[in-house]
Structures are given as C-alpha cells and as structure tokens.
Amino acid sequence: MTKKYLFLFLMMMVSIGFNACQDDNDELRTTILSLTVQSPEEMTDFTLSELQAVFTERNTGEKTLSDPFTGTLMILLPEGTYDIAVQGKISYWINGKRQTGEVKASKESNVVLGEKAVLSLPLMLVIDHTDFLISEIFFTGTQTPEKKQYNGDKYMVIYNNSDEVLYADGLVIGQTDFLTVTKHAYRPDIMAEAVGVDCLIQIPGTGKEYPVDPGKYLVIADNAIDHREYNPQSIDLNKADFEWYSTSLGGEVDNTDVPNMFNLYDRMVMHNRGFKSFILARIPVENEQYLKDYRYHYDYDFVFNGITYPMDGDCYKVPNEWVVDAVNLSVESEFQWIVTSPALDMGWTSCGKVDKDPQRYGKSVRRKVLATNPDGTQKLQDTNNSSVDFIPDATPSLMENK
C-alpha cells in the first residue's frame, strides 16, 4: 500500500470512529419521572380515581399520555422541557354528605433531566358553576358605642366562582317577600317554579361594561361612604363597586364615585335579623316586559286565637330557571321553613341565636372556601345548601383589616 493510500485509509477510519462516537452521544436519553399530586386545599376526607397526565414536550410538540393513576405516577420520558396537565375524578365528604366531581392540575415548562426527576402538582377542584355566587351577606349592620342600631352600612359580595371572565351587567339581587320565620299556605303556591320577591335591584350596564375575572368579586353596598365618620364601630364602604342608593330615603348620601344600582322593583331594605332570603338572578326579558308579566298576587289564611283572617299580598316572581344563586337566612330560635325551592337552596344560615339577638351586630354570613388554586384565587363551596356552604356569625370580610 502506498503512503498516499495509507493516509486516505487512516483518515477514513478516523472519520468512521468519530461518527460512531457521535452516534453514541446522540442516543436518546430518558428520565424516570415521579409525579405526585397534592390534594385540594381544605379537603381531607376524599378519594381520587382515574387520574391521567398528558406530557407535552415544548420543543417538539410531542405528547405522552400516562396510564391511569391515583396519587403518584412513575413514567419514563425523554429528557426535555414539558408542559404537564392532569385530570381525574374525586369523591369527597362535606358535613356528612358525599359529593363527586373532577380535579385538574397543570404546570408549564418543567425541565426533566437526568436519570430520575421528582415533581409535585397541586390539584384543583373543577367547579362547574358558570356564573356568579353570593359569597357574603352583611345584613346585621352595626351598633354605635352607645349600643344604638346604626343603619346604612350593610353590603353583599358577589363572587366569580367560574374559570372565565364574567360580566355583571344586568344581574339582579332580590330579597324574598316571604319570611323564613312565619309559615303560611300561600295561594297559588309558586315555590316549585319561582321565588316571590319584595324588591329587585339591578347592576347597570349594556352587556360588557363590568367584567369580573375568575376569583374576583364585587361589593354591593347599602350606602357607599366611610361609615366610621359617623360610627367608629362601623366600616368603610367608600370603595364599594356599587351602592343601592335611593332618593326616597331621607338622609342618605350619594357617593357619585360609585355607580348606583337600578331599582327595578321597589328599594332594598335588608332585614337586619335575617328573616328574609336573597337571590341572584339574570332576567332574560326587557325590564318593562318583566314588570308587566311577572306580578304575583297571593292570598292566605292568618290564624290568631282560633280565628281565621283572610289575607292577601302582592309582589313579583322570579322564575327558578333565572336564578343564579340563592341563600336562605333565618335565626335558630324562630326558623320555620325555607322560602325557595330546595332545588335552589335546601338549607339556611344565620347570625345570632335568638330573635333580636344583640350579638348578631357586626357579624355576617360567609361562604366557605373549598380549595385554593395555584394562582392564589379561591374556589368557594356550592352544594345548594346554605346550612353547609356558609359560615354563620362570621367576621365580615371588610372588618378583618379595619
């Protein structure tokens, strides 16, 4: 072999060896990933099932689907950077009642390298509620240092418990005409189909003027002023989102920086002992048509000392299918019945133990937190049972940092 051909042969062998080493270095590297899911916050008595994870490699777009698992997953993945999404089912208990639902978890840009990797994702309960909830009602008001009742500082909080931006335009708040502490056989009985209300106040707007992000809320105030200027034991409602100001009430101050609710029917005067209940609704017809077509006249028999007195009354009715949320209020010593269909609310909540309980002042009813999302927003409990969904005699949210 001449020197020329020997040199070419050696160069070829070096090239083959180099390429072989290069191929060895380019072999697919894999990682054993241990993925654990954490239970939704506030939940202890539960069972997970049918969990499944999808791993999407961000550079290639390739997806890997796991086998079903219940808590911890071991899976072999090519090294890379992954977006991870988990979905599954959950069975859990709330105050002795079993509930079922779905859970999910997700996290982007997870770097998976080396022989082994460990990741943990918090699960979030999937709430199928697609509209607003009443999350708090401060109906009791406050007392002055002289133990006198102070008026005007009541409020309600409306919460977006969904996963989407919702628009509050046109929402109505109604207070029931019937009392939870006095039961009569009203004729006609419309409770299975509608709720009788003694007032309706409406959020203004043409459709998309008042967006509310998931996990955010609106404060609807009686009188949106800093009430501490008149009663040091009261609260500042100057930053409320809306107020139900009424020109017919003498002495009220209209905060021109806070939009007024529209008085669709009568004016809101919250019952400060909790004898009436509240609904949140969307009315799918024009206001004029509603006021024309949905008046409710009823009669009933009032019995006193064995004598029956025929009675009647008038209010408006809101069909149950229009009701977004309902919260029944009462007081323990006086409760007689729920004044909505059980399909809307099968329980009730309260402040105070007896009628005219002075301990009720400065207390509200607040909906329980079911879970906290990874972004810090909360999912509120909604089983259509105010007896288990609400905290009675709670510290009002606007008093916590007073």
Q: What is the CA radius of gyration of the chain?
A: 30
Domain residue spans in the chain? 30-126, 132-399
Structure confidence at residue 71 (pLDDT): 85
For residues 238 and 223, give the distance between their C-alpha atoms in angstroms, rounded to a whole number: 8
Q: Which residue has the higher pLDDT, 139 or 106?
A: 139
Fold of 30-126: Immunoglobulin-like (2.60.40)
Q: What is the mean pLDDT of the chain?
A: 88
How many Cα atoms occupy the beta-carbon half-sphere of 309 within 13 Å? 6
pLDDT in tens, 41-56: 556 778 899 999 999 9
With helix as H, strand as E and coil as C, how does 346-382 read?
Answer: CCCEECCCCCCCHHHCCCEEEECEEEECCCCCEEECC
pLDDT in tens, 275-314: 999 999 999 999 999 999 999 999 999 998 889 999 999 9
- Residue 201: band (very low, low, confident or very high) from pLDDT cuts 50, 70, 90: very high
> Beta strand 80-94 with 97-112: parallel, antiparallel or unpaired?
antiparallel
Q: Is the pLDDT of residue 17 over 90?
A: no
Distance in angstroms between the alpha carbons of the first and the last residue of the chain: 97
For residues 402 and 397, give the distance between their C-alpha atoms in angstroms, rounded to a whole number: 9
Please name the residue that has the structure tokens 């698992």: 69
Give the highest mean pLDDT range of 34-43, 88-97, 332-341: 332-341
Structure confidence at residue 401 (pLDDT): 67
- Using CA atoms, how far residue 119 sits from 33, 53, 72, 369, in Å, is 7, 13, 10, 26
The amino acid at residue 173 is: I
Structure confidence at residue 384 (pLDDT): 86
Mean pLDDT of 55-78: 93
Percentage with pLDDT > 70 across the chain:
89
Q: What angle do CA 204, 210, 213 make, to 5 degrees?
A: 145
pLDDT in tens, 160-189: 999 899 999 999 999 999 999 999 999 999
Mean pLDDT of 223-239: 96
pLDDT in tens, 343-358: 899 899 999 999 999 9
In contact, 332 and 350? CB cutoff 8 Å: yes
For residues 58 and 233, give the distance between their C-alpha atoms in angstroms, rounded to a whole number: 56
Give the bridge partners for 125, in sequence order. Answer: 103
Mean pLDDT of 366-375: 87
What does DSSP assign to residue 46? E
Q: Is the pLDDT of residue 260 over 50?
A: yes
Q: Is the pLDDT of residue 250 over 80?
A: no
In contact, 161 and 380? CB cutoff 8 Å: yes
Q: Is the pLDDT of residue 139 over 60?
A: yes
The amino acid at residue 234 is: S
Structure confidence at residue 2 (pLDDT): 47
